[in-house]
Structure 1
Amino acid sequence: METATPVKRRVPRPRADALRNRERIVAAAREMFVEFGPDVPFDEIARRAGVGNATVYRNFPDRDALAREVVCSVMDRTSEWIESALGEGADAFQALSDFVHFAADERIGALCPMLSEAFDQHHPDLFAASERTMELVGALMRRAREAGQLRPDVESGDLMVAVSQLTRPLPGTACQGIDRFVHRHLQLFLDGLRAPARSVLPGVAATVEDLRTA
């Protein structure tokens, strides 16, 4: 008896409008998390995204799922930017400086309060995005260090702590005016990273592993 060949079912592709809605939700959530903190109501996110509440919940069943997508989307864009910078082969320290200013515009500092103890920081998507980003940040710093442009006593952890602290806005619309100072203060920090070092740093360099175990 001849065996029938099993028929493979086609997995339906998301509709273009569904993908656009998802992107609008993530963009709106990112803006509102920065402005008001991670507890902003889903209703307000839906309103800013121009979609209904049901559309938000259909894409993201809970706050953790939405927060994770926001964090991953920012890290993915950051990784893509660094890969492009490394591929261009421009001045090593200039590329590092450009990355720091890019990170400020991506509001990386605003993501830290979202990563609370209740947040699943070991989720596979989040872990993969984080690993990729930090490996590329490390490559960017190694390139500047090997070129003799970056002081040797700093590590990736030092860079990310400083960027997070200097770019983290205070929740509330009244505090948004501080944005105009961010790039100025970041440039002061970057000048301190240049080799040769003009001072001895206290303590030890912070690695990525130090940040994970802190």
Structure 2
Amino acid sequence: MRNRERIIAAARELFVEFGPDVALDDVARRAGVGNATLYRNFPDRAALTHEVVLAVTSRTTLRAAEAEAAEADPFAALSRFVHAAADERIGALCPMLSGVFDRDHPDLLAERGRLEEAVEGLVARAQSAGRLRTDIAVGDVLVALSQLTRPLPGIACQGIDRFTHRHLQLFLDGLETPARSELPGSAATLEDLRRS
């Protein structure tokens, strides 16, 4: 693995474990490189954070395509994706998104667009097959995924995994048809999320 990739992987792990303000010296140490190598590849925290967010978003988009290819049943594909996205720790990105980097950078917008399109496709296919309730939208899936994969304050991330997948499955069971209740409010769309 090249130094740049090792640094991104180490930063992702440490951001998940300790939050976005982890010392860059710790990132270099975890990656097995010197500080000079880290700063040669990433001149500041914003540049490193940008690459971590881009990498996680890209990997999550790939997980959506893999889920679709692996599962004939559209609801099973959506379920597989939700669990795979949790393993990518996408919810741990939320604190970084309020950080000091350009969230509207063209690379990030393009990758986010690919992810949104992939998840919209999974949701639409599951709804068309009559397997997913029709009173939800892709934003509902993304919000729940973000909320259910974000570590609770004061709880170490390493131990949360066994609960994350359990709670994601409870959420997914609630999405499957036939619906057992009427949902309050309206479905969360991507436009709603962008306005937030």
How does the TM-score come out when normalised to structure 1?
Answer: 0.87
SS of 2:36's partner is: helix
Q: Specify the alignment match of 2:12 in structure 1.
A: 30
SS of 2:102's partner is: coil
In structure 2, distance between residues paired with 1:96 and 1:112: 22
Q: Specify the alignment match of 2:146 in structure 1.
A: 164
Contact map agreement 2:86 2:149 (CA 8 A) in 1: yes
CA deviations on 1:71-114 (whole Å, 9 max, x unpaired) are 11111112122223334561110010000100110000000110
Match of 1:59 among 31, 41, 56: 41
Match of 1:198 among 164, 180, 184: 180
Deviates more, 1:76-85 or 1:148-157: 76-85
In structure 2, distance between residues paired with 1:102 and 1:173: 22
Deviates more, 1:140-149 or 1:81-90: 81-90
Contact map agreement 2:47 2:101 (CA 8 A) in 1: no
- Match of 2:61, as an amino acid? S
Q: Specify the alignment match of 2:29 in structure 1.
A: 47
Q: Tell me by how many angstroms 1:209 deviates.
A: 1.2
In structure 2, distance between residues paired with 1:203 and 1:172: 31
Unaligned runs of 5+ in 2: none
In structure 1, distance between residues paired with 2:67 and 2:161: 25
- Match of 2:51, as an amino acid? E
Structure having the higher Rg: 1
Q: Specify the alignment match of 2:166 in structure 1.
A: 184
Unaligned runs of 5+ in 1: 1-18
Q: Specify the alignment match of 2:87 in structure 1.
A: 105
Within 5 Å, which residues of 2 pair with 1:82-161? Answer: 82-88=64-70, 90-116=72-98, 118-161=100-143
The number of residue pairs the alignment matches comes to 196
User: Identity of paired residues, percent?
Assistant: 68
Contact map agreement 1:92 1:143 (CA 8 A) in 2: yes
In structure 1, distance between residues paired with 2:8 and 2:113: 21
- Match of 1:48, as an amino acid? R
Within 5 Å, which residues of 2 pair with 1:62-77? Answer: 62-77=44-59
Name the CA shift for 1:152/1:108 in 2 (closer, same or farther; >3 Å): same
SS of 2:95's partner is: helix
In structure 2, distance between residues paired with 1:126 and 1:164: 17
Q: Tell me by how many angstroms 1:66 deviates.
A: 0.8
In structure 2, distance between residues paired with 1:22 and 1:105: 22
CA RMSD of aligned residues (A): 1.6
SS of 2:62's partner is: helix
CA deviations on 1:135-168 (whole Å, 9 max, x unpaired) are 1000010010000000001111110110111111
